[in-house]
Amino acid sequence: MSCLPFLVVMLDIIARLPPKNVAQCKLVCKEWLDFILERKFVRAHCHYMRASADQKLLMVAWKTIEVHSLNYKSPGFIVPRGVARPFYAHPSRMFFLASLDGMLCVCLQNTCELVVWNPLTTKFKKLANSNSQGFYKVDSDALGFFVDSSDDYNILHIKRRRGTMTVYIYSMELNSWSTVRFLKHRPYHHYTYLWSPATLCGGGLYFFVTQCRGRSDGLTVIRFDVNSKSFSELCFPNVYDDEVSGSLVNINEELHMYVCIGNYDYR
């Protein structure tokens, strides 16, 4: 064991362990603890876990939050594990907005505060500040979670208030908020437009934007480039009907769109 290089031990052996065992490895020594908390290790561990047959599903019930095992090679029932919340919030008053590399971005309904929370390590960070940044309205705002070219975790918050739109980015590396420009002369700030949750795919965050479920000419897809920090519009498929809705999904790092057409007989 003493002949193995440190990076081989950490990235090729420890990173392949289940989260519970990784948490135990943090107690070995300070060197292991510091490395396990680095982004390099977190990314490697998440990569191996996504390829594992034993996937985890976080389920929110009325009073509890539980982790369920989804091992498709072992269809037998596995008792779920409860998740402790390090901050005061009832599960029914929490909105789970985005997830990335084991971290969750949550909105606390009572205060509208945004929180980044790691259920494994129980660490969390409240993003709200005295400048009214980091406060989220579920019925009007939109949000995405991404990693930029400098390997920094970021939160994109599209904030709509009283007919105006402001776009903020929170940097976990800098622990601060900044603003970016949105598309000029576009109407998407208006309350009649509904924004979907963001879908992260191939260096971009994608939002499905609809004008209160209107015709396809009132629908569009907004893309935010996570490296250039700029927005662009994508054309919606040529679908003509009275009622059109859709959703976006990332399948093997390719963006797919599901479109639902019709008033009563959806197809």
pLDDT > 70 fraction of the chain, expressed in percent and rounded: 89
Mean of all residue pLDDT scores within the chain: 84
pLDDT > 90 fraction of the chain, expressed in percent and rounded: 37
User: Which tokens is 204 given?
Assistant: 């971009």
Enumerate the H helices of the chain as residue ranges.
Answer: 6-7, 19-25, 30-36, 39-51
The amino acid sitting at 71 is N
Q: What does pTM read for this prediction?
A: 0.81
Q: CB–CB of 70/169 below 8 Å?
A: no
Count of residues in the chain: 267
Average pLDDT on 15-41 reads 89
pLDDT over 60 at 213, yes or no: no
pLDDT tier, 245 (very low <50, low <70, confident <90, very high otherwise): confident
Which pLDDT does position 170 carry in this prediction?
96
pLDDT tier, 79 (very low <50, low <70, confident <90, very high otherwise): low
Average pLDDT on 194-222 reads 81
pLDDT over 80 at 44, yes or no: yes
- Under the phi-then-psi rule, with left for phi > 0, alpha for psi from -120 to 50, and beta for the rest, what region is 131? alpha
Which pLDDT does position 137 carry in this prediction?
92
Terminal CA-to-CA distance of the chain, rounded, Å? 59
Beta bridge partners of 169: 156, 178
- Of the candidates 82, 79, 87, the residue with the CA atom closest to the CA atom of residue 59: 82
Q: How far apart are alpha carbons 77 and 22 in whole angstroms?
A: 24
10 Å CB burial of residue 134 (0-12, 13-18, 19+) is buried
Q: Is 45 helix (H, G, I), strand (E, B) or coil?
A: helix
Distance from the Cα of residue 87 to its chain's centroid: 19
Which pLDDT does position 236 carry in this prediction?
74
Report pLDDT digits (tens) over 126-164: 999 988 899 999 888 999 999 988 888 999 999 988 878
Average pLDDT on 33-37 reads 90
Residue 83 has phi, psi (to 5 degrees) of: -115, 125
Which pLDDT does position 38 carry in this prediction?
84
10 Å CB burial of residue 118 (0-12, 13-18, 19+) is middle
Which pLDDT does position 188 carry in this prediction?
77
